[in-house]
Amino acid sequence: MSPGWQSQVTPFQRRVYLAVLRIPKGQARTYAQIARAIGKPGAARAVGQALKRNKWAPQIPCHRVISSGGLGGYSAPGGLRRKRRLLRLEGAKLK
C-alpha cells in the first residue's frame, strides 16, 4: 500500500478505510457498524460505496465488512468466493 493513499481518497473514504483498518484479523463488522463508528449512523450504503472504490484491498481489509444479512458484496476479483476465502484464512467463523 502506498504511503500516500490517504491523499488519494475523499475525507469520507479516509474515515471508512481507517475504521476498517481497526477491524481485528479474523473478525468482521457490518456496513452499519462502520457507519456508526465514523459518526454517520445512516450511511451504511455510502460505506459500501467507499469500500467498492478501495484500490488497496486486501491491505485495507474491506473483506472484513459484511452486510447485516450475510456476506454482502465484494467487487474485487474473485467476488464473494474470494471474500469468503480471505475471511476463513484469517480464522473468521462463517455461517
pLDDT tens-place string over residues 62-80: 999 999 988 887 877 788 8
Active site residue 62: yes
- Containing domain of residue 54, as a range? 8-89
Q: For residue 95, tell me if it sits in a domain.
A: no
Answer whether residue 62 is part of any domain.
yes
Over residues 51-61, the pLDDT tens digits come to 999 999 889 99
Catalytic one of 62, 65, 66, 86: 62
CB atoms within 10 A of CB 94: 11
Distance CA 27, CA 87 (A): 8
Q: Is residue 75 part of a domain?
A: yes
End-to-end Cα separation, the chain, in angstroms: 31
Residue 1 falls inside a structural domain: no
Q: What is the pTM of this model?
A: 0.91
3-class secondary structure, 87: helix
Domain assignment of residue 3, yes or no: no
- The domain spanning residue 68 has which CATH number? 1.10.10.10
Domains identified in the chain, total number: 1
